[in-house]
Amino acid sequence: MRPGRRRLRRGLAGTAAAVAAMTALTASQAPGVVPPRPVADADGAADAGTWPVTPNDDSYHVELPPLPVPVPPAPVPGSGPAVRLDPVRAESGIPATVLAAYRGAEARIGRSDPGCRLPWQLLAAIGKVESGQASGGRVDAAGTTLSPILGPVLDGNGFAHIADTDNGAWDGDTRYDRAVGPMQFIPSTWANWGQDANGDGRRDPNNIHDAALTAGRYLCAGERSLAVKAHLDRAILSYNHSQEYLRTVLAWLDFYRRGVHPVADGGGVVPTSPGAGGDTPAERPVGDGGDDGGEGGGEIIIGPPGGPPAPVPTPTRDPAPRPRPSIPGPDPSPDPSPDPSPDPSPDPSTDPSPDPSPDPSPDPGPSEPDCPTPSPSPSELPGESPAPPVTPPPGPSDGPTPGDDPCSPA
């Protein structure tokens, strides 16, 4: 049973409690935080009780799916047959080994975590945006990339600063980290989430089967149900906390849901925008407008040495994790009006100091035991309660000033 029933508020910073909370996040945007490895069940399912936020290099391919091509006009007599390349047909082709990895990950997670309802098209959309489906499917028969697919060096020069966490084992860099493989995992994230999907005894981020299953586990973290729009958005944002990234992935998700077909490995479309798996390396983050001289991500420090966690913005309030059968129901976020008649503000005349904030309980408090009015009032109105019927009880009172009758008129 997953322990992810507690609420986890993101964006906490500067306190020891925040550091303790953020250690549960996978390679969260906090320096020096090394969370424990998710426990794997019999089918390799990671038992993750929190919803992760991964560091990222903000480098991805920005192409959007093509629009359907209208039917061309009839060819002019004598001009020969018209030759037309259909971009929709081309972009809907996914390299066969890559497509098999996405579908295999969906099937395995569907058995071990059916409540997540992970669609393989989501993995395809992320794989498209992150690496152009492993650089157009340049993988061997086992699904391992023919050459490393690496993101930019995360040295703080325009991109985030992430000091080396894997001693260069995956990215070949012993000073700084780089995102690795067709699904572009930061080495520290891979160390905590990596899966061995093909049973070769290795968890290899360069293998599309291992990477796709790991991405699926990661997206399903924290009792998410990806059939719920808010959970789907949050899962994508955990990969890259950017609204533009979210829109791009959702566009490809919708495109792939309309139909795909396998193509030969190495025969997929290679992205033209800068990024991993394409022909042009990324020189600046996608979200960097170029006005900062290439220092857009330099102030973001992720990785050792330690320090206070950076706040993580979220587009909407996080709902608490909950049992999946009740997910489509009302949002379990804090009730904006827990008491039909709470005191909206402290009584300036009768309670000046003991309670600077409203009592969340339905009872206005022990300081007004026998007030004649049915509910507390934001301020006492002269003449609202006649003085004769008010008889203070013999017991002690916790009012703001000993001896004062809280029910007497001002």
Domain assignment present for 125: yes
Domain assignment present for 76: no
| Structure-model confidence comparison of residues 125 and 79, the more confident one | 125
Residue 100 has pLDDT above 80, yes or no: yes
Domain assignment present for 265: yes
Domain assignment present for 81: no
| Range 177-185 average pLDDT | 96
Domain assignment present for 237: yes
Q: Is 330 exposed, middle or buried (0-12, 13-18, 19+ CB in 10 A)?
A: exposed
**59: containing domain:** 16-67+87-323
Domain assignment present for 392: no
Domain assignment present for 350: no
Beta strand 39-40 with 46-47 is antiparallel
Residue 304 has pLDDT above 60, yes or no: no
Compute the half-sphere exposure of residue 387: CA atoms within 13 Å on the CB side of its CA. Answer: 6
Give φ, ψ of 317 to 5 degrees: -65, 135
Domain assignment present for 357: no
Predicted confidence at residue 261, as pLDDT, reads 98
> Percent of the chain having pLDDT more than 70?
51
| Range 319-345 average pLDDT | 45
Number of domains present in the structure of the chain: 1
| Structure-model confidence comparison of residues 216 and 13, the more confident one | 216
Place of tokens 């060096």: 153
- This prediction has a pTM of 0.58
Residue 152 has pLDDT above 70, yes or no: yes
Residue 213 has pLDDT above 50, yes or no: yes
